[in-house]
Amino acid sequence: MKKLIRGFGYAFKGIWYATATQLNFRVHLVASLTAALLGYALKVSAIEWIWIIFCMALVLAAELFNTSIEVLTDLVSPEFNTKAGHVKDIAAGAVLVTAIFALVTGTIIFLPKILTLIHAA
């Protein structure tokens, strides 16, 4: 049990490290909070909540993996190295793919509701 709790501690330490050092991670946190507030305000359905939460988890987890890969790359290859550059670029590309997916999903969920509100006003 103690080991399990210690494991959670390490995981939160990692999340805190990413929050403190990565501007992109903080941007994704703010975007997640904004999506949650929009979801609440626009009374999205249970299925839509699942998609919103899935997008949040996907993007934040991708950003955590990206941060981890950046740290490991800097450790293994502190000097300029073309392959180290590729490793970081590919990891950043993976985050971009998840962020685009989240943006498209958010647009599909929120845009019709926002347009309905605008037309009703």
Residues near ligand ATP (CB under 6 A): 22, 70, 77, 80-81, 84-85, 88-89, 92
Q: CA-CA distance, 19 to 26, in Å (whole number)?
A: 6
Between 42 and 87, name the residue whose CB sits nearer to ligand ATP: 87
**Least distance in angstroms from the C-beta of 35 to ligand ATP:** 23
What is the helix (H) or strand (E) element at residue 26, kind and residue range? helix 23-41
**Least distance in angstroms from the C-beta of 101 to ligand ATP:** 20
Q: Which residue has the tokens 């939160």?
A: 12
Between 35 and 91, name the residue whose CB sits nearer to ligand ATP: 91
CA 74 to chain centre: 22
Between 88 and 113, name the residue whose CB sits nearer to ligand ATP: 88
Q: Please check whether residue 55 is in contact with residue 35, taking contact to mean a CB–CB distance below 8 angstroms.
A: yes
Q: Which residue has the tokens 């392959």?
A: 83
Helix (H, G, I), strand (E, B) or coil at 81: coil
Cα dihedral 14, 19, 22, 27 in deg (nearest 10) = 140
Between 52 and 95, name the residue whose CB sits nearer to ligand ATP: 95
**Least distance in angstroms from the C-beta of 82 to ligand ATP:** 6
**Least distance in angstroms from the C-beta of 20 to ligand ATP:** 11
